[in-house]
Amino acid sequence: MKISLKTGIALSLLPQILFVRWLTTKPDWVEEYYSQALYPLISRAFRFILGWIPFSVGDILYFLLTIVALTYVYRNRRPIMKKKLAFFRDVVMVLSIAYFTFNFMWGLNYYRQPLSKVLALKETTDYEELVSFTKSLIQKTNTLQFKIAGDTVTQIKIPYSQSDIFKKSLEGYTDLSVKYPFLKYKTSSVKTSLISTGLTYMGYAGYLNPFTNEAQVNGLLPNFRFPVVAGHEMAHQLGYSAENETNFIGYLVTASNSDIYFQYAAYAYGLGYCLNDIRRGDKEVFDSLMAELNGGVKLNFQEMSDFWTAYENPMEPVFKSIFNSFLKANNQSKGIQSYNAVVSLMVAYHKQYPL
């Protein structure tokens, strides 16, 4: 029996899934042949083609595809009801194409060598080490806050435009690549998302469009958080997909920046994750550490809390659940909690390079 092209493409979805599952056992292969060889060519090409465009091409692409899909279903609703099997085949065919494109363009990076191995970091979950590191981080953050404000009670306002922050983030990667050449970043394609309001209601600070390789940052974010998120999304462009790793790279590149506002944003960002981990372990220790924070630092933390609270809605947990499932399906067993795993990377890194 002759199989049509549409049916063949649809049937290819299963072997694709099995092949990608097999790649979970071959991180060395993925690292050498994809993440270090093929993917950089793809990423640089798309950044070169789309980076100069001041708006997000990927956001427009998503919007147009959604309109086309809804229009097609509406106009063909009667034929679809009559030929349900053919419609199901067409849906699977589209999913098969999208799955292949996603993995080829970016997704296989989920199966590369872990960053901790590349940096020779020995991660730890020791609670006492976490508390000790957090105390050092508090001192560092307090010092920077006081140095900028001239007192301990003033909330820090980063005095740069979003465009300036993107440029300074690129400079940070240039500086950090001297120490870590694998973080060399050329041809910027970092933009504020056209759907920033939607991202905020969903609870997202940014995302990488895997089909256009544009790093998208939520344009509504307070400047206090903007530099680290920009660094995080740029790390995705370099082929680091695990959220704990891109959180760490975003933290590291921002903390390594020569600009004091960037340094403050980075250390406060890392401190927030550490304090959250400590609160889950011992509320009394958490309270005692919070008491050590300068008032200005607390105001910055409150700024972020107020920002997200203002956009809370019943659908946010649904979007978070979908993203959680997406991460688990892509070799991140902790799902959305993998963001918090940045703490063990920071502790391990600063054991080698103290604050």
pTM of the model: 0.92
Partnered with residue 120 across adjacent β-strands are none
Partnered with residue 215 across adjacent β-strands are 190, 208
343 and 219 part of one domain: yes
| Phi-psi group of 208: left, alpha or beta (phi > 0 → left; psi -120 to 50 → alpha; rest → beta) | beta
- Number of C-beta neighbours around residue 258 at 10 A: 10
25 and 145 part of one domain: no
Arithmetic mean of pLDDT, 157-166: 96
Portion of the chain with pLDDT greater than 70, in percent:
93
- Which of 77, 111, 145 delimits the end of a domain? 111
Arithmetic mean of pLDDT, 282-309: 94
Confidence of residue 77 (pLDDT cuts 50, 70, 90): confident
225 and 165 part of one domain: yes
User: How far apart, in Å, are the Cα atoms of 348 and each of 47, 123, 165, 210, 280?
Assistant: 32, 5, 28, 30, 20
- Which of 65, 89, 111 delimits the end of a domain? 111
Number of domains in the chain: 2
Confidence of residue 341 (pLDDT cuts 50, 70, 90): confident
What range defines the domain where residue 254 resides?
A: 115-352
Residue 298 buriedness (CB in 10 A; 0-12 / 13-18 / 19+) = middle
107 and 194 part of one domain: no
Per DSSP, 215 falls in state E
58 and 150 part of one domain: no
Mean pLDDT of the chain: 91
Q: How far is CA 51 from the centre of its chain?
A: 19
Confidence of residue 93 (pLDDT cuts 50, 70, 90): very high
- Which of 44, 77, 111 delimits the end of a domain? 111
Confidence of residue 340 (pLDDT cuts 50, 70, 90): low
The amino acid sitting at 142 is N
Whole-angstrom distance, CA of residue 47 vs CA of residue 213: 7
